[in-house]
Structure 1
Amino acid sequence: MASISRSSLLPQCTSCVRRFTRQNLDAWGSQQTRNISKKAKEAERNIVVKLLKDVPRYGRAGSYVPLNPSLMRNRWFPARVADYVPVIQLKQLKAQELDLSRDFSYGVRAKLEEAEEDEEDLVAARRYVRPIEIDVLSPERSIELLNTFVPPTIDFYRQRIEQERESRPRFGASGAADVLTAAAMASKPKAHADAIYGSVSTADVVTTIRGALAHNDEAARVILNEADVKFLTGHEGEDTSRVKQLGVFKLEIQLGAEEPLLRNVRVREKTAEA
């Protein structure tokens, strides 16, 4: 009978069940729950101790700092790093509004300043670029090495320009055509008998000399540029940087010494077999 009477008290229709459930949910939702973070829980468990030694990130000797009880019990108190604070003394400290917090910067600031100075020194060292030291040979020594490794005559091979043969008389041609041909031949400048295709320039000479100097470590240090070389003979006009015909020509190499080095450049005909 008790079960029957209890079931009769429960809501029977759907709307009543819904209203009853909503009332229960509202009652549950009105309850407030308190969530305490892990740090807050640790702070509540900490006890205030008196430091007997300077401890980095905590404080100097004589300071009052919070500490985990297990750390105090197992390590700091046996090692005489800190001492317990009686309850009466703790109440007096709180009444005096004494700072009982931990000094995280104690014992670390000096190290940070040293680290910053080290970083500045490192940046300055990175900015400093050590100059490249090159042991430059003197002009006199360079001339001696050139005189030793460069032969008296430097050979080059070029193809000769074939000269045009004089045109034979054409039978049946008009006199006007012959006059025009003769005028064109007369106006065309006649090439040198030993003219070559292209030329031999001071750049070619410098490249050849550098190849001869490359076989010796000291001679390879000789600094030779195109401006240090010029043709004394065989050049056309004021252009002393090239020759354009076959033959043997005088070459001057000046590196700042008292006397320049003289060499011969021989331009030979390049045959079909070569």
Structure 2
Amino acid sequence: MASLGRTAVLPHCTACTRQMTRLRWGEMPPLQPLQQIRCISKAAKEEERYIVVKLLKDKRRWGRAGSYIRLNPGRMRNRWFPQRIADYVPVTTLKELKAKGVTIGRDPEFGVEHALQEEPEIDPEFLQQKHHVRPVELDFLSPARSMELLTTFVPPTIEFARQRIEQDKVDTGRRYGTSDAADILTAAAMASKPKPLTNAIYGSVSTADVVAVVKSALAHNDEAARVVLSDSDVRFLDPSAEGDGSRVKQLGSFKVEIKVPGAEAPIVRTVRVRERKPDE
């Protein structure tokens, strides 16, 4: 019976067969039953860990709406299903998809913009050919048309608000306890000092300020906005203007002329500098 029991156990590998041929049947130790080890493939592990869902929206790096992918159950339960990004796939539908051979998996390239590829090499003979380059055409207004637009859109009076400088009162009366000679010297010293402007202001109104106001008035019309005007095209005509007529530093009304390069005659406007109110 022992021999029958031993012969009933057949070898499972070449090593066992080689060992049985070398040993005698009487001296052969009893064979131990082999333990079967199950190896789980990567695909089987993914089927156990992930579930199959159907995308309801286009998802970058996942796939287009309507495709089937494998997803972590926690992400599906907490985020994608409440936000209606994906929907669960029933077991019966999943069996039909497998039977039809439908591809189940994410598309990591979906919605990803790739970098520009290197351009192919250009034939050197092609580079040697001379190509006609069309010059850039700038649509400038003529000086006459620019002056017409300035006459139309620039108002007769341009107003600015500035803060007046308060002047100290000068005591011209006779001081008690001083001699006549001291009074004469004091009067001479006061006469030699330049008299301050009665309407002096903090800062000034320059031609740049006038150009800024004129450009804001021209900006309301598409054609007038193309008028090119610089600080050198504006000049104050008042004798009290400093330097070459680039600015004024007192309250009052002053004449200013505006003329673009190439124009025949300038236009004259009035610049009014008034005192700034406390609430302004």
TM-score (norm 2): 0.49
TM-score (norm 1): 0.50
Which protein has the larger Cα radius of gyration, Structure 1 or Structure 2?
Answer: 1
